[in-house]
Structure 1
Amino acid sequence: MKVVKKSILSLSMLLLSASFVLSGCSEGNSKDSALGSDKPVATKNSGSESTPATQLKPYKLKLVYPGSTQADQVKVQEAMNKILQPKINATIELMPIDWGQWDNKANLMIASREKFDIMFTAQWNGHAVNVSKGAFLPMNDDGLDKYGNLLKKHGQGIIDSLSPTFLEGAKINGKNYAVPTNKELAAQGGVIYRTDIAKELNLDMTKVKTIKDLEPILTSVKEKRPDITPLFLRNGDNFNAHYFAQTDALGDASIPGVILKDQDGTKVVLTSDLDRYNETLKITRDFMKKGYINKDAATTSLGTGEALKAGNVFMVVVSLKPGKDAEMANGISLQGKLKQIEMTPKTVSTGETSGSMLGISTTSEDPERAMIFINLLHTDKALNNLLNFGIDGVHYEKVSDNIIKATDASKNYNPGSSWMFGNQFLNYIWDTEDPQKWDKFKEFNKDAKKSPALGFTFNAEPVKTEVAALVNVGKEFDPPLDTGSVDPEKILPKYRDKLKAAGLEKILAEKQKQLDAFLASKK
Structure 2
Amino acid sequence: MTRTTRQLMRAWMLLLACLSLISACSNHTGMNLPLKNSSSPEAESNNESASSSNAVSDGESNDHQLKSYMLRFVYPGSPQEDEAEIESAMNEYLLTKINATIDLMPIEWGPWDDKINLMVASREKVDILFTAQWNKHAVNVSKGAFLELDELLEQYGQGILQSLDPVFLAGAKIEGKNYAVPTNKELAAQGGIVYRSDIADELGIDMSKVKSLEDLDEVYQTILAQKPGMTPIYMKLGETFNSHYVGNFDALGDTSIPGIILKDGDSTEVLPAYEVDRYVNTLRITRQFYQKGYINKDAATNQTMNNDALKSGDVFSITSALKPGKDEELAIQTGLIGKLAQLPLNEKTIATSETAGSMLAISSTSQDPARAMMFINLLHTDPYLNNLLNYGIEGKHYVKLNELVIKPTEYTKNYNPGSNWMFGNQFLNYVWDSENPEKWNVFREFNQNAKISPGLGFVFDGDQVRAEVAAVVNVARQYQTAMETGSVDVDKVLPEYRDSLKAAGIEKIIAEKQKQFNRYLASK
Do both proteins adopt the same fold according to a TM-score greater than 0.5, normalized to the shorter chain?
A: yes
The answer on 1:136 being equivalent to 2:138 is no
Task: Give the letter for the 1:112 counterpart.
Answer: S
CA distance in structure 1 between the aligned counterparts of 2:443 and 2:417, rounded to whole angstroms:
21
Query: Secondary structure in 2 aligned to 1:378?
Result: helix
Q: 1:475 to 1:357 in 2, by over 3 A?
A: farther
1:348 corresponds to 2:344: no
Q: Using the alignment, how far apart are the partners of 2:82 and 2:460 within structure 1?
A: 41
Indicate which of 40, 49, 52 corresponds to 2:62: 49
Please give the per-residue CA displacement for 1:206-247, whole angstroms capped at 9, x wherever unaligned.
221111111121122122222211111122221111111111
TM-superposed CA distance for 1:15, in Å, is 7.6
Match for residue 127 of structure 2? 117
Match for 2:94 among 64, 84, 96? 84
Change (3 A) 1:14 1:507: same
Q: CA deviation at 1:436?
A: 1.1
Paired residue for 2:74? Answer: 64
Amino acid at match of 1:94: L
1:410 maps to 2:412: yes
Amino acid corresponding to residue 5 of structure 1 in structure 2: S
Greater CA deviation, 292-301 or 407-416?
A: 292-301
Q: Choose which of 246, 253, 256 in structure 1 pairs with 2:255.
A: 253
Q: Is the 8 A contact 1:124 1:355 kept in 2?
A: yes
- CA shift, 1:6, in A, is 7.9
Q: What TM-score comes out, normalization by structure 2 length?
A: 0.87
CA contact (8 A) 1:192 1:341 kept: yes
- Residue matched to 1:513: 515
- Deviation string for 1:353-391 (max 9, x for gaps)? 011111122222222222221111111111111111111
The residue aligned with 2:229 is: 227
Which one-letter code corresponds to 2:98 in the other structure? I
Q: Kindly tell me: are residues 477 and 127 of structure 1, through their superposed partners in 2, closer, same or farther at Cα, counting changes over 3 Å?
A: farther
Decide whether aligned partners of structure 1 residues 2 and 414 sit closer, same or farther in structure 2, where only a CA change above 3 A counts: same
Deviation per CA, 1:154-188: give whole Å up to 9, x if none.
21111111111011101111111111100001111
Distance 1:435 1:499, change over 3 A: same
Counterpart amino acid of 1:390? Answer: G
2:122 partner amino acid: S
Which residue of 444, 449, 460 corresponds with 2:446? Answer: 444
SS at match of 2:341: strand
| TM-score (norm. length: structure 1) | 0.88
Cα deviation for residue 11 of structure 1 reads 4.9
1:363 aligns with 2:376: no
- Out of 331-340 and 420-429, give the one that drifted further: 331-340
**2:179 matched residue in structure 1:** 177
| Cα gap change, 1:15 to 1:393, in 2 (>3 Å) | farther
Aligned equivalent of 2:159:
157
Kept in 2: contact 1:132–1:464 (CA 8 A)? no
Matches of 1:73 and 1:128, distance apart in 2: 31
Where does residue 24 of structure 1 map in the other structure? none
Q: Would the alpha carbon gap of residues 185 and 163 (structure 1) be closer, same or farther in structure 2, given more than 3 Å must change?
A: same
Query: Distance between the aligned counterparts of 1:316 and 1:171, measured in 2?
Result: 32
Higher mean displacement: 397-406 or 96-105: 96-105
8 Å CA contact 2:77, 2:109 repeated in 1: yes
Distance 1:121 1:495 in 2: 29
Q: Is the 8 A contact 1:4 1:366 kept in 2?
A: no
Contact persistence 1:16–1:153 (CA under 8 A): no
Does the CA contact (< 8 Å) of 1:325 and 1:338 recur in 2? yes
Q: Which residue of 2 aligns with 1:30?
A: none
Per-residue CA deviations over 1:413-450 (Å, capped at 9, x if unaligned) read 11111001101111111111111111111111111011
Match of 2:506 in 1: 504
One-letter amino acid matched to 1:203: I
**2:16 is matched with which residue?**
none
Instruction: Work out the number of aligned pairs and report it.
Output: 480
Matching residue of 1:193 = 195
Is contact 2:237-2:303 (8 Å) kept? Answer: no
Contact conserved, 1:173 with 1:459, CA < 8 A, in 2?
A: no
The residue aligned with 2:207 is 205
Give unmatched runs, 5+ long, in structure 2: 1-40
Question: Using the alignment, how far apart are the partners of 2:303 and 2:376 within structure 1?
Answer: 28
Query: What percent of counterpart residues are identical?
Result: 59
Instruction: Give distance in 2, aligned partners of 1:113 and 1:401.
Output: 43
* Matched residue, 2:432: 430
Cα 1:409–1:16 change in 2 (3 A) is: farther
Partner of 2:470: 468
> 2:470, 2:91 → 1: CA distance?
39
Instruction: Indicate how the Cα distance of structure 1 residues 198 and 513 shifts in structure 2: closer, same or farther if over 3 A, else same.
Output: same
Asked if the contact 2:51–2:367 (Cα under 8 Å) also holds between the matched residues in 1, the reply is no
Paired amino acid for 1:363: T
Could you report, residue by residue, the CA deviation over 1:451-483 in whole angstroms, capped at 9, with x for unpaired residues?
A: 112222222233333323333333332222211
Structure 1 stretches of at least 4 aligned residues deviating more than 3 Å after TM superposition: 10-17, 48-51
Residue 274, structure 1, aligned to residue 276, structure 2: yes
CA deviation vs aligned residue, 1:266-317 (integer Å, no higher than 9, x gap) = 0011111111111110111111122211122223222222211122111011
State the distance in 1 between where 2:207 and 2:83 align.
39
| Aligned-partner Cα distance in 2 for 1:97–1:300 | 19
1:299 paired residue number = 301
Answer whether contact 2:43 2:365 (CA < 8 A) is retained: no
**Cα separation, 2, equivalents of 1:13 and 1:509:** 45
Bigger shift: residues 284-293 or 456-465: 456-465
For the structure 1 residues 516 and 157, does the alpha-carbon distance in structure 2 shift closer, same or farther, using more than 3 Å as the test? Answer: same
Q: Which residue of 2 aligns with 1:373?
A: 375
Question: Cα distance, 1:74 vs. partner?
Answer: 0.8
SS at 1:296's partner residue? coil
1:215 aligned partner, one-letter code = D
Q: 1:2 aligns with which of 16, 36, 42?
A: 42
Q: Distance in 1 between matches of 2:55 and 2:404?
A: 31
SS of 2:71's equivalent in the other structure is strand
- One-letter amino acid of the structure 1 residue matched with residue 330 of structure 2: M
| Distance apart, 1:199 and its partner CA | 2.1
Q: Does residue 493 of structure 1 match 2:495?
A: yes
Give distance in 1, aligned partners of 2:451 and 2:125.
Answer: 41
For 2:43, give the aligned amino acid. Answer: V
> Any unmatched runs of 5+ in structure 1?
18-39, 41-47, 141-148
Q: Does the CA-based 8 Å contact 1:348-1:454 persist in structure 2?
A: yes
* C-alpha distance in structure 2 between counterparts of 1:14 and 1:320, whole Å: 46
